[in-house]
Structure 1
Amino acid sequence: MKIVGVAACTVGIAHTYIAQEKLEEAGKKAGHEVHIETSDTIGVENALSPEQIQEADVVILAIDVKISDRERFESKRVLQVPTEVAIKSPNKLIQKAEEVVKEDQKNK
């Protein structure tokens, strides 16, 4: 499964990067390809390419603030949670993403 996402916290420092790291680790541990963009006070890092978004099975937004360019995810299944959820329960969040993708595939 291919997962993309954005991590962004209110201050734009610690929680943003911790959420990114936790999601990428949990996703890879579960055997998925994961790319998480960070959006913080210094701008966007690890920007997602249009191809990565297009190929993604699901998008995880671990955000505490509004993000720009959210419309690029309009055609995708999006799970939005606070950064705290991504930090404290990344494995459960990845499991939820798996369930959502399976449910979508079943309904096609």
Structure 2
Amino acid sequence: MNIIAVTACSTGIAETYMAAEVLERCARTRGHSIKVETQGALGIMDKLSSQDIASADIAILTNDIAINGDDRFKGIKTFHVSISDILESPQDIMSEINSEP
């Protein structure tokens, strides 16, 4: 599965980047490809390209705060999740994504 994600937390500091690392590690452990854009205190990093988005099977979007440019994901299956859920139970999130029709 080809996954894209955007992580952003209310403070834009540690959790944004920790969640990105956790998602990358969990997705790769399950054999998925993933690219994660972070929107934090350092601005937007690793911005998803239009090609990244077009080739994605699913987008994981954090819903703790508004994501900049969330209109880019219209027409793509999206999975909204909190930063705390990513940090506390990433394997559960990956299992839910795998069970999506």
Give the alignment's TM-score, normalised by structure 1: 0.90
Q: Which runs of 5+ in 2 are unaligned?
A: none
Larger Rg: 1
Give distance in 1, aligned partners of 2:35 and 2:63: 15
Flag the structure with higher helix content.
Answer: 1
Q: Cα distance, 1:63 vs. partner?
A: 3.6
Deviations 1:45-103 (A, max 9, x none): 01111111110000001241101110100010111111000111111111111111xx1
Specify the alignment match of 2:28 in structure 1.
28
For the pair 1:70 / 2:76, whether they are aligned, the reply is: no
Residue aligning to 1:80: 80
SS at 1:53 equivalent: helix
1:2-59 deviations in Å (ceiling 9; x for gaps): 0001000000011101110000000000000011100012210011111111100000
Residue of structure 1 equivalent to 2:3: 3
CA RMSD of aligned residues (A): 0.8
User: Number of aligned pairs?
Assistant: 101
Partner of residue 47, structure 1: 47
Runs of at least 5 residues in structure 1 that lack an aligned partner in the other structure: 104-108
Identity %: 33
Q: Does 1:91 align with 2:63?
A: no
In the aligned structure 2, how far is the partner of 1:54 from the partner of 1:98?
19
TM-score, normalisation: structure 2: 0.96
**SS of alignment partner, residue 75 of structure 1:** coil
SS of the aligned residue for 1:24 comes to helix
- Runs of 4 or more off by more than 6 Å in structure 1? none
2:47 is paired with a residue of what secondary structure? coil
